[in-house]
Each structure stands twice: as structure tokens, then as C-alpha cells.
Amino acid sequence: MSRDLVELAKRRGYFFQSASAYGGVSGFYTYGPEGATLKDNVEDAWRERFQVREGHREIDAPTVMPEPVFEASGHLDTFDDMLVECPECGESHRADHLIEDNTDIEEAESIPISEVEDLIADHDLRCPNCDAELAGVPVEDFNLMFETNIGPGDSSPGYLRPETAQGIFVEFPQLAEYARNQLPFGITQIGKAYRNEISPRKSIIRVREFTQAELEHFIDPTEDEPPLDRVADVELTLYSAEEQEKDDGEYVTKTVREAVDEGIVHEWIAYYLGVGKQWYESIGVDMDRFRYRQHLPGERAHYSADCWDAESEVDGDWIEITGYSYRSDYDLGKHDEYSDDDFTVFKQYDEPKVVERATVDPDMSYLGPEFGGAAGDIADALETLAERDRKAFDGEEVAVEVGGEEYAIPTEKTGFSVEEVKETGEHVLPHVVEPSIGIDRVVYTVLDHAYETDEIEGETRTRLALEPAVAPTFVGVFPLMDKDGMGEVAREITDDLRAAGLDVTYDDSGNIGRRYRRQDEVGTPFCVTVDYESLEDDAVTLRERDSTEQVRVPISDLDDLLADLQAGETTFAELDAPAPEQ
């Protein structure tokens, strides 16, 4: 199936490997005319459901960001995959993929490197390129970010963003102002991200440049609750970490409300799992080949407190198409710590409160001579410690760590005190709920799940049963023959339908059956044929792709009728139904 779909994708203009005239570049794909439109339609559908209907706002941040951003986010230290390099041919492979492809072990990326090396040896895994033995070859962490320089020289290192999320997080102080510092609020972004994959594979499923659609929903974890009633009855197919760790682990089917009440899924993640389920189904993902799988503890990203993946089955494998992560306050906390800006939101109380506050007023005439250049950092560390743990000041000395070195300061020199103060509000470091969708993988899933073959009039037919809402070409318009005025009428209809905002293709090449087959294969839901009868009755034949059924429709009604079909306000079966008896 995969080979058939990839061949169709290339032949019909969905996607193909980039720069093939120069031998191609692994991990980079070009979307053709049909694919680019399908991708745009999926993005627009995501934007409508996750942004517009949820009341969120969108930004567009740069794809290149300076190194300090990724120092703070943790990507420089922890954004790695496991690499094993063949000692014979020099080909690099993802060690966890080798294990998954050649054993019954799933989710090998959650396994420690030392165990991965043992598994390679135990299963006698060999290089897929040259069949050389890989036992005993060290497995190493490989950072996936593409490095670049900002400006001339190498004084300002930067990286292509590995996720669109950081472009939202670093701008949080400004975005919070636009939101009038009122939680909760959400920011979305659709754009390119880049990961220097060790072994790109499976066409657009694992690539080095891809499109993400991400939502960062900022909440006050002590007060904000999701509107669960909107999706409470949506049924979810769940594969929890607990079930995965069992020998006979199974999926469980729960409504969103049940999953929350039984403590299986965090309430905010559960809400977006419900929203996501409805969205995937609306764009044509087969729900019999779909599940939500919870990340195992060793599999979670460094920023994630909990994560569930939406996974689809394609080509016999389960692939992640979306990650639903509760990122807690990790990201904003890191940028608050590393940057010069404030990443908190001030939450005003209904009435002022009298509270006890621990403060320090270090004696710099002591700290300066005693600790030299570290004195300022020690003073800052003392202030942070007082806010976090006032009991640390109960003894005669206080210990703080600065730059990896521990310093002991006499408590009397810290100026520590606890005072009663009247506060009108407090600074809250928001938590983040993140649905992060891989658009390319969703596009592949939609195509794979739409790919069907059947037999029409003794011939095998290939068709893409795409949902009308995302099909790149919505209607094909044909003259039966381009003569006797039929071509002119068909071209007028084409212009009118395009003016009405529909994606239309005009085709007068070959016999009508061949034209139908072309449009079936490219996924066009409807075809309009102008024939000799049309010249007499101002009506056309409207054909539906999946059933191949046909009805006659007045030309004057065509644009409104097709718009209703695309919006789902009517169905073709309703058009074909006999009129009720009077």
C-alpha cells in the first residue's frame, strides 16, 4: 500500500522528493499542486477548530532563533536521538528504530542507551545498508537541531527551530499584555520546524523539514478548568502507560468525562483529546485505525509532565500525528530564569490580603570583601531561597549554590526577616497545555485512509475517498465533447464556480470515463458534465465520486448546491432521493 500511495502521490501532484534533478535530498519533500492545496485545507480546518472556535489567537514567529533561547529551553542538552554508525559503510541509523523494525519491542526510544546496546547485540542486529554487524558499536546521543550563524562570522550562533512552540514562549511577556494579563488565553502558530533526523524514512512521515500546528494554552493551574461539558460524551480509545507495561495490556474505551473522573487523563489534556477526536474524524481519519497512547516515563520529552499521542495506523505501523502535552510551568519558568524579562502574570485579588513575606537585605559590605565577584549572585540566591524555604535561615549559617559551588553565609549577614505586608495580588507563573500537530503526518494519514480500490464496469478503479472539506479539487467540470457549444457552457460553469470560491478543474481531454477515473484517483468528490441535453434544458449531470451515482441539476442551482455539499449541509444521497408522495 505504501508504495502504491507514494507512486500515486508523485503521479497526481501530491508530494515527491525534493531536488530529484540533483539526486534528491533525504528528508525533504515538495508538495505538488494537489498536495499543497490538501495541506492548506488541513491547516485551515485545524485553525478553524483549535483556534477560531476556541477563541485563541495566532502569531507568526521567526524560524531562526538565537542560541540562548535553546539553552534556556533545554534543547541544547536534551533534544537527542540515539545514533549508531556502521563501522563498515559509515551509514548512520537510529538505534531505537533498528530495534523496533527487527524485534517485537515497541517504543524503544524510552529504553536507556546501555540497554539499547545490549539489545542490538542480543538480537544480532546488522546494518540495513551493508549487513555489517553492529554488536559492540557504541550508541550515542545525537542532537537534532540544525545550527547556523546569525550575521557574518560565528559570533552569534543560532538554530533553526525544532518546534514552533519556543517562538510563542519567548514572546510571552508581550503576548500576555495583548491578553490584558487575563488567564487563561491561548496562542497558536502554524509553520515550519526543522530536525536533523538521523534516518529520514517513509516519505513525508519522518522528514527534516516539516510543518507543525501548535497551540500553547496558558492557564492558572489553581483556578482554570477546561469546558469539559463540550466534549464530555466523546469516546476515546486509550492506551495508557499502565496498560502498555502489562504483558496483556489492552486499549480501554472511555468518554472524556469517564477518563477524567477515573484519573486516567489530566482534565486539560482530556478536553483537547475530545476536541482532537472530533477534528480527526471530520477530515477523514479512520477511527478504526486511530488511538491515543500515553507516553511511557522514559519516553516523555524533558519539558513534559504528561503526554498522550494521537496515533494513526498506516502501512501496518502506528505513527504519532499529534502530541498532547501538559508542559506545566517548565518553559515559562526557564525563560523567566534565563532571560531579562518577567514571564509571570499579575493576578489581582478581589480584596487585599495581609500575608507574611520573607525578605533578605544582605550586608554587601561583608559579602563583597568575603566573596568578591560572586557576591551579587549570592545575594540573588539568598533572595530566591528566602521566597522558597524560609526555614533554611533558622540556623547560624545559610548555604546557597552559585555556579556549581556552595557558599556558607552567616545568617546575621543575610538581613533575613519575615514581615506582614498587604498584597493586592500575586504573580502567577502560568502552566501550559499543548496540542502539537504534525501537519505532514496528518496529510499522509488522510491520504492513506482515503486510498481505496474497487471495480467499476469490470475495471479496477483507484480512488481517494477524501472528505469534501479537505479535498484539494472539489469539482471537475467536463463537456461531453468540446464542440457544438458544450465547451463554452462548461467553461462558463467553471468560471462561475471558481467565483463562488470552489476549487474547480476543467478537463476536455479523452473520453468521459477516463476523465472520471482521473478525478476519482486524485480525490475529487464531484464531477459536472455538460452534454447535448444541457443545451436544451440548462441542466447538467452531477456525479458523486464514491458511489458513481448521477443526478440532473439545474445550472442555476449548481453553485449553491455544491457549496452546501462542501459544507456538509446536504448530502448527495439526499439529492438522489425520490420526492415524497403528495
Which of these, 280, 266, 356, 276, lies nearest to 313 by C-alpha position?
Answer: 280
| pLDDT for the residue numbered 577 | 60
Q: Kindly indicate the confidence band of residue 351, based on its pLDDT and cuts at 50, 70 and 90.
A: confident
Q: Kindly indicate the confidence band of residue 578, based on its pLDDT and cuts at 50, 70 and 90.
A: low
Asked whether the predicted pLDDT for residue 538 surpasses 60, the reply is: yes
Asked whether the predicted pLDDT for residue 388 surpasses 70, the reply is: yes
CATH class for the region spanning 473-576: alpha beta
CA 303 and chain centroid, separation? 16
Asked whether the predicted pLDDT for residue 289 surpasses 80, the reply is: yes
* Mean pLDDT along residues 463-473: 96
Q: Kindly indicate the confidence band of residue 579, based on its pLDDT and cuts at 50, 70 and 90.
A: very low
- pTM of the prediction? 0.86
Q: Kindly indicate the confidence band of residue 302, based on its pLDDT and cuts at 50, 70 and 90.
A: low
* Mean pLDDT along residues 202-210: 94
| pLDDT for the residue numbered 551 | 95
Per-chain mean pLDDT for the chain: 93
Per-residue model confidence as pLDDT tens digits over 16-63: 999 999 999 999 999 999 999 999 999 999 999 999 999 999 999 999
Per-residue model confidence as pLDDT tens digits over 219-262: 999 999 999 999 999 999 999 999 999 989 999 999 999 999 99
Asked whether the predicted pLDDT for residue 298 surpasses 70, the reply is: yes
| pLDDT for the residue numbered 64 | 97
| pLDDT for the residue numbered 582 | 34
| pLDDT for the residue numbered 387 | 87
Asked whether the predicted pLDDT for residue 1 surpasses 70, the reply is: no
d(CA 488, CA 277): 45
| pLDDT for the residue numbered 552 | 95
Q: List, in order, residues 6 or more apart from 241 with CB less than 8 Å away.
A: 294, 295, 296, 297
* Cβ neighbours, 10 Å, residue 434: 24
| pLDDT for the residue numbered 110 | 82
Per-residue model confidence as pLDDT tens digits over 521-533: 999 999 999 999 9
Tally of CA atoms within 13 A in the half-sphere of 193 that contains its CB: 23
Task: Name the superfamily (CATH) of residues 2-61+162-321+433-439.
Answer: Bira Bifunctional Protein; Domain 2 (3.30.930.10)
Per-residue model confidence as pLDDT tens digits over 122-143: 999 999 999 999 999 999 999 9
Phi, psi of 115, rounded to the nearest 5 degrees: -75, -35
Percent pLDDT > 70 in the chain is: 98
In terms of Cβ atoms closer than 10 Å to its own Cβ (0-12, 13-18, 19+), residue 574 is: exposed
> Domain segments of the chain: what residues?
2-61+162-321+433-439, 349-428, 473-576
Q: Kindly indicate the confidence band of residue 275, based on its pLDDT and cuts at 50, 70 and 90.
A: very high
d(CA 137, CA 306): 33
Q: List, in order, residues 6 or more apart from 293 with CB less than 8 Å away.
A: 239, 244, 308, 309, 311, 318
d(CA 65, CA 73): 12
| pLDDT for the residue numbered 464 | 98
Q: Kindly indicate the confidence band of residue 479, based on its pLDDT and cuts at 50, 70 and 90.
A: very high
